[in-house]
Amino acid sequence: VTAGLTTVRVPLAERGYDVVVGRGALCRLPSMLPPGARRALVVTQPGVGVAVETGIEQVVVEIGAGEESKTMRTVEALGRAMAQAGITRSDVVVAVGGGLVTDVAGFAAACWHRGTPVVHVATTLLAQVDAAIGGKTGVNLPEGKNLLGAFWQPLGVICDTATLDTLPAPEWRSGFGEVAKYAFIGAAGLASLPIEEQVAACVAVKARVVAADERDSGARLVLNYGHTLAHALEAAGLAAASGDLPGAGPPVLRHGEAVAIGLVFAARLAGALGRIGPERIVEHEEVVRSYGLPGSLPAGAEAASLIELMRRDKKAVGDLTFVLDGPNGVEPVRDVPAELVEQVLAEMPRAASTDEGEA
Ligand SMILES: NC(=O)c1ccc[n+]([C@@H]2O[C@H](COP(=O)([O-])OP(=O)(O)OC[C@H]3O[C@@H](n4cnc5c(N)ncnc54)[C@H](O)[C@@H]3O)[C@@H](O)[C@H]2O)c1
Ligand SMILES: [Zn+2]
C-alpha cells in the first residue's frame, strides 16, 4: 500500500523536515513524532473525518470550522486542552485537517510552553500543496486575516491523498486554484497527472521557495502569485478563505477559485505592461480552464472598491504592488498605475449574475 509514497524534503538545516505524499502516507505518522513523546494532542474538526493512530497516548480535540473559528479564543481553548491533557514540551501536537486546522494548531503549538513540536496531517488539497508546508501559523483579528501568528516549522507533514476521497467539490476547486498557481512558478503541465504526482510536484516547489526564504523577506512572494486580486475579492465578501461559513447567503467563491481569477487578471495586467505576450496570457486562461476554474470576475465585483482593497495588500506600501509574470519569471512589480489596473479590470470577462435569470 505504501510502495507509491514520495518523500519531499524541506531543506531548512536544523529545522528541515519531510513531507510524505501518497495514498496511505498516514502510516508514516508514528515515525514522524519526536522520539520520547508520550502524549499527543490531536487537533481536528468535526467535518474532517480522518482518524489517526499516533501509537502513543492521544487526546482528540475538535475546533470549529470557518474563518470565525480562526481566533485567539480557539488558541486559548487548545492551550487549556493541552494543560488538561498533561501535554509537555517533549510531547507533540498533531493537526489533522485543512489549512485552518494546521494554521491554528500550529500557532497553538508555537505558543504552548514557548514551542512544542507539531506534525501536520493535511486533509484538503489546499493544505497538502500549500498551507501545511512552510511554517506560517496564525489566527485572525477582526481587523484582518492572519494578523497574529508565528513561524513554527512542523516536524513533518503527511499528505495522504486517500484522505481527499471525502473532500467536497468546492474544496477540490479551491486546492486546484493553488495547483494552477504552481504551473507558473515551477510546476507546469500537471493537470493530466495522477493527484499524488500533482501534490508532490507542488510540494517540491513550495519546499524550494520556503527553503530560500524561510521568513518571507522576498523570494517567498512568488507564492502570492494571483493572490492580490484574490485577497481583494475575499475582503469584498465575494470569496471565502475557509470552508463551512455559517449562514445561507449566496454561494461565494472559494479561495482557490479567487486565485484562479487572480491568475488570469495578473496575466492580463502583465500583458498590458508589456511584460508578457498574448500567447502567455492564453496559457494562463487554458491552465485555469483545464482545472474547471473560473477566469471571469464574479457578479458584484466593482473595480473601484477592488482597487481600494488592493492598495491595502500587505505587499503594497501605499501603492499598487502585484506579483507578475515577465521575462525573468514571476516577481513583484511596484507602482502599477491605477488607471491601468482599472482598465484591465474593466476588460476582464464577467460571470453572468445568477439572479438576473441568465440562461
Ligand atoms: N500557512 C499557510 O502558509 C497558508 C497557506 C494557504 C492558506 N492558509 C490558510 O488555510 C485556510 C484554508 O484552508 P483550506 O482551504 O484547507 O480550508 P479549511 O481548512 O477550512 O477546510 C475546508 C473544509 O473542508 C473540510 N475538510 C477538511 N478535510 C476534509 C476531508 N478530508 N474530507 C471532507 N472535508 C474535509 C473542513 O472541515 C472544512 O470545512 C485559511 O485559513 C488560510 O488562511 C495558510
Ligand atoms: Zn492561496
Asked if residue 103 has its Cβ within 6 Å of ligand 1, the reply is yes
Percent above pLDDT 90 for the chain: 92
Q: What is the mean pLDDT of the chain?
A: 95
Residue 97 Cβ < 6 Å to ligand 1: yes
Nearest to 106 by CA among 73, 154, 46, 65: 154
23, 137, 171: residue to mutate for ligand 1 pocket, most atoms within 8 A of CB: 171
Decide: 323 and 225 in contact? Cβ < 8 Å. yes
Question: Looking at the predicted structure, is the pLDDT value of residue 268 above 90?
Answer: yes
State the distance from the centre of ligand 2 to the C-alpha of 91, rounded, in angstroms: 31
Q: Which atom of ligand 1 is nearest to the CA of 254?
A: 15
What pLDDT sits at residue 352? 80
- Tell me, using a 6 A CB cutoff, whether residue 127 lines ligand 1: yes
> Using CA positions, which residue lies closest to atom 19 of ligand 1?
98
pLDDT at site 1? 46
What's the confidence (pLDDT) of residue 112?
98
Establish whether residue 244 lines the binding site of ligand 1, counting it when its CB lies within 6 angstroms of any ligand atom: yes
Mutate to test the pocket of ligand 1, among 126, 157, 205 (most ligand atoms within 8 A of CB): 126
pLDDT at residue 310 in the model: 96
Measured from the CB, is residue 46 less than 6 Å from ligand 1? no
Q: For residue 145, which atom of ligand 1 is closest to its CA? A: 43
Range from 21-25, 163-167, 241-245 carrying the lowest mean pLDDT? 241-245
Cβ(234) – ligand 1 distance below 6 Å: no
Q: Which atom of ligand 1 is nearest to the CA of 138?
A: 1
Distance (Å, whole) CA 110 – CA 104: 10
128 lines ligand 1 (CB under 6 A): no
200 within ligand 1 shell (Cβ under 6 A):
no
pLDDT, tens digit, for every residue of 173-207? Answer: 999 999 999 999 999 999 999 999 999 999 999 99
Q: Whose CA is nearest to atom 16 of ligand 1?
A: 98
Measured in angstroms, how far is the CA atom of residue 259 from the centroid of ligand 2? Answer: 7
- Which amino acid makes up residue 197? E
Which of 74, 103, 234 has the most ligand 1 atoms within 8 A of CB, as the residue to mutate?
103
What number is the average pLDDT over the span 246-270?
Answer: 88
In the predicted structure, residue 349 carries a pLDDT above the cut 90: yes
Task: Give, in degrees to the nearest 5, the angle at Cα 114 between 112 and 117.
Answer: 65
Task: Please determine, for residue 2, whether its predicted confidence score (pLDDT) is greater than 70.
Answer: no
Ligand 1 atom 5: the closest Cα is on which residue? 131
Whether 341 is in the pocket of ligand 1, judged by its Cβ within 6 Å, is no
Q: In this structure, which ligand is nearest to the CA of 64?
A: 1
